[in-house]
Every structure is written in structure tokens, then in C-alpha cells.
Structure 1
Amino acid sequence: MKPLTAAAALLCYLVPAHADDGISTDRPDFVESSQVVGKGRFQLETGLARERSDDASGTRLRVDSTPTLLRLGVSDTVELRIETDGYQRSRSVDAAPSRVTRERGVADTSLGIKWHIQDGDQASGRPAIAWLLHVDVDTGSAAFRGNGLRPSLRVVGEWELADELSVGAMGGFAVDRNPDSGRFATGILAVTVGRSWTDCFRTFVELAGRQLASSRHGGSVVSFDVGTAYLLSSSVQVDAVVSRGITHTSPDWEFGAGLSIKF
């Protein structure tokens, strides 16, 4: 048996499959799923990610992270969430004068709740809808820590279309804090289009406005994303995504690969 096949078989053996309660993940696309994990269920979504940026002055920045989301179902419509970018490592290279700066540490933690308020219906065009409330907490290492508590509120809608197509849209806002100017609000707006090619394999394209803000508050971070996800079983998923920044304040490229398991 090949190593990859053996690993997949081991995961499928260790993780119980629930044919009537399959996995629905919030990764790898930026638009969250409208679904919750279900009462008494626990889901781990984790992976590896890298950002690459090169600015006009010749500075090159690389940031590696381990984004992780833990989801716990407290009812059939509500789940609790803990999210973080995990361990982070950055490397910045300045061309003139030649200088390399390295930072390592852990990212902040986000505590949240998702409320699924409506199931979708393809026949009538009704979307599945969920609300997400999160608060980012300044628990990270000094190099990666934000300022104080930073709440965000998002609403997600998902439409199932013909020919195995789906559309998801997410909008909302976040409140951040600048040590000099105090609190400020940023917008969130993203749309994703996906297609299921088989029962196990799907792909998507996405336009993600992760942060919509004035240049005074860091500018807008907008990317075009392409990704895929594959089910090893009804409870185990692997995925990959590539993002291209389309504003000058966005990372030039982002690459990610992940694993999600439902218990």
C-alpha cells in the first residue's frame, strides 16, 4: 500500500463516519459556511499557510502560520468557536541597507459563536443563512499581537444552484484599535462560487474583501482566491488554496493547505 493511501485509510479508520451528518468546513475559502457542526459534535480545521510580499522599495516579507479553528456544537443551530493563526514565523529582507529581520511567536486568539438561522431551499432559491460574532483577544506574542479586544460581526448566505454549482456571500464589519487614533471600523465583503465535480471533490473561485478600510487605517486587503477540497471520508477533508492580492496593501501571494476532521 502506498504511504498516502495508507495514511488516508488510517484516518478513515480512526475517525467515525456519519453518513447522514457529513463534514462542512469553513476553510479553505474566506467565505464561511452557513452550516454548524451539530449538537455534541467537535470539529478541528487546521493547516499551513504562507504569505509573500515584495514592495517597491525592495523589501521582501515572508510570513508562515498554522491557522487553526476549533468548533463545538452546543445545539443543532449554534456552535462555539476558537480560532487563531497559531504559530507564526516572519522573515523580512530589506534591500538597502541589506538587513534581515526575523520574528517568531504565536498569534492572537479569536473567540466566537455561529448561529444558523435558516436552511436553504434550491427549489425556491432561498439561501441558507448564518450569523457569526467573534472577538479577537490580544493573547499573542509581542510581534504578532493586536490592540485590545476587537469584535466582528458577519452574515453568510449560501445558494445551491443547478449543475452542482453554489454561491456564497459574506458581509460584515470589524472594530479594530490603533494605539494613536483609537478605535475604527473596517468592512468585510466576499463572494465565492463553487462547483462539486464528484461527491468527494469540489473547487471554488472567490473575490475576498478581508478588510475594507482607508489608507489611514491600513488600507483595503482584497484578494482573488482559487482552491479545492477533497473528502477522504464523510468526516475527513483535505484542501488547498492560492490567493493573489489585488490591492497594494494586500499580500502579493498566499498559499495554504489544510486538514479538517469531524468528531
Structure 2
Amino acid sequence: MRPSAAPVAARTGLNVALAATLALAGAPAIAQTSEPAEPAEPPSFDRPGISFSTDTLPRGAFAWEQGLPDFVRDDDGGTRSRLYSANTNLRLGLSDRVELQLATSAYNRLRERDGDGRRSRHGAGDTGLAIKVALRASHEAFSWAVLGAVTAASGDRDFSNGATQYTLGTTLGYDFDERLAGALYLNLDRSDGRDTWTWSPSLSFALSDRVGAYLEAGVSKADGESATSVAGAGVTWMATPRVQLDASFDLGLDRGSADLQAGVGASFYFD
């Protein structure tokens, strides 16, 4: 789910939205003057899944989320490809409701096979910087957060978007009870004059105090292209109070989607 020139107004609107997100992020970070109380347990990690969590890290806390690896398999009828990526997301709490994120994939390996034979390439992916803000909610069961990001086309040719990408997304969450929660993710990516919209609903279940599972679906629509859709599931296990292990998959539901997106990973929390 990660991906005709658009009018200038669309570009301006996204830039203004990103600027507003960054301004919103800066104010609480400056206003924060005292150390927050140590949480009873780590906030939710952002992997796995299409959406990100509505939690942010406390001020000074740090999280490392790592794919071990993440995997994409696709067969378009003529070429079969397998992509392995060591996706990394580093998160740093700036205040009680604001965090800074650095995302990259330092190593990727692509294997392709077609009528001309087999090929294998490897290299680094693009690098992105993001600000995530957990917004206040009037209802205890409801939570939401926004994330604004800029991703530079810094990776090797086979693993790069090829142009700077601007992202503005939000996740809306609702706790139905102590073991069941729902979320709706909405996101806009803009790169090289093209917009890509993504939305994804999901349901999460607490199977025990340490094991959780979720179901999700996702739809993306880029300018001038048909919509693509996936559906899948995942499971998480808190190996320790500060270490989460995960496994997940999404299956493509149409010809434009990758046949399979999957991964295993580990996330670590430090404060």
C-alpha cells in the first residue's frame, strides 16, 4: 500500500497542512517544562499494519521498530519479483503528545525472473523525517493522531521513489472495550505532481495480556490509475514489557496490487 499533474492548489493545500502540523508539533515541545510520569507500560508501536498508532512516546523516550525483514511478492504475468526490505523506524518523544520519527530501509534485495532469466539487485531505500502529534479528544474511548512527513529520494535507483514525497495522514481510534478496538486510517502522499490517497479500516483484539491480533483492509488510489486494494491480518507478542515481536501479511485483491505483502519484525522501547 506504499505507491497527470495535479493543480497548483492541491500542492499548496498539502504544503499548508504540513506546515500547520509542524507548527502544532513545535508548540507543545517548547511549552513542556517538567518530566512526565513514567508510564505503566510502553505506548503502542507503529508496526505492524498499514496505519500508525494513536499513541506518542513520552518526552525523552525512544523506540526502535525493525523489519526482519518485510517482504513483497508480485507476479504480473510476465515478471516475478521478490523484494526483501530491512525497514527501520526510529521514534523520539519530544513532549507528552509530540514525537519525531526517522524512517529508512538501509538494505533491500530485489530478485526478478522473466523470459530473459533471473536478476538480483540490492541497495538502500529512501529516508523520511516525520512529526507525529497525538491530538486531544473529549471522549475517553476515542483517540486520534496526525503525522506529517517528508521523504527524500536518497535511495538507490531500484529502491527509490525517484522524487521527494510529502505525506499527511491521520489515524482515528476507538476502544469498544478492554479487548476490542477499531481504527480508521486516512493518508495523502504527494510526489512528482501526483497524489495518492489511502484509507484503511482495522479491528484489533487482545487475545491475552501479552498477545494481540488484528484484521485490516486497505485501498489506495493514485492520480490517473485504478484503485488497488489489499486485506490481511497480523499478530503481536510482548516478549518482555518493552520488546514486541510481530508477524503480518496483506493479500492483493486485484491485478494492480502486489500478490503478497508480509513481514516479521521486532520493536524495542527505551526511556
Offset from partner CA, 1:157-183 (integer Å, 9 cap, x none): 110013611001111211011xxxxx1
Structure 1, residues 155-208: CA drift from partner, whole Å, max 9, x if none?
A: 11110013611001111211011xxxxx11110101110100111111000002
| Residues 1:110 and 2:117 aligned together | no
- Looking at structure 2, the residues matched to 145 and 92 of structure 1 have their Cα atoms a distance apart, in angstroms, of 17
SS across alignment from 1:70: strand
TM-score with structure 1 length normalisation?
0.83
Once residues 202 and 165 of structure 2 are traced to their aligned partners in structure 1, the CA distance between those partners, rounded to angstroms, is 25
What's the counterpart of residue 77 of structure 1? 97
Matching residue of 1:194: 204
Counterpart amino acid of residue 221 in structure 2: L
Q: Cα offset for 1:19? A: 6.0
Matched, 1:231 2:226: no
1:46 pairs with 2:82:
no
User: Structure 1 stretch 78-87 or stretch 36-45: which is displaced more?
Assistant: 78-87
What SS does the corresponding residue of 2:158 show, helix, strand or coil?
A: helix
1:137–1:150 Cα contact (<8 Å) kept: yes
Counterpart position of 1:32: 52
- Mapped to 1, the partners of 2:222 and 2:169 lie a distance apart of 16
Asked if 1:258 corresponds to 2:269, the answer is: no
For residues 227 and 47 of structure 2, the distance between their equivalents in structure 1, rounded to whole angstroms, comes to: 22
Could you say if the C-alpha distance between residues 120 and 28 of structure 1 is closer, same or farther in structure 2, counting changes exceeding 3 Å? Answer: farther
Q: Is the 8 A contact 1:120 1:158 kept in 2?
A: no
C-alpha separation in 2, matches of 1:22 and 1:38: 9
CA distance in 2, matches of 1:145, 1:162: 42
Corresponding residue SS for 1:116:
strand
Counterpart code for 1:262: Y
8 Å contact from structure 1 (residues 19, 234) kept in 2: no
Deviation of 1:220 after TM superposition, in Å, equals 3.4
- Deviation string 1:57-90 (CA, Å, 9 cap, x unpaired) is 3x21111101110000000000000112331110
TM-score under structure 2 normalisation? Answer: 0.81
Pairwise CA distance, 1:120: 7.3
CA displacement 1:71-125 (0-9 Å, x = unmatched):
000000000001123311101101x3x3222221000011100000125745xxx
Q: Which of 114, 117, 127 in structure 2 is aligned with 1:99?
A: 117
Aligned to 1:157: 172
Q: CA deviation at 1:22?
A: 1.8
CA contact (8 A) 2:249 2:260 kept: yes
CA distance in 2, matches of 1:19, 1:73: 13
Q: Does 1:87 align with 2:107?
A: yes
Unaligned runs of 5+ in 1: 1-17, 178-182
SS in 2 for 1:111: strand
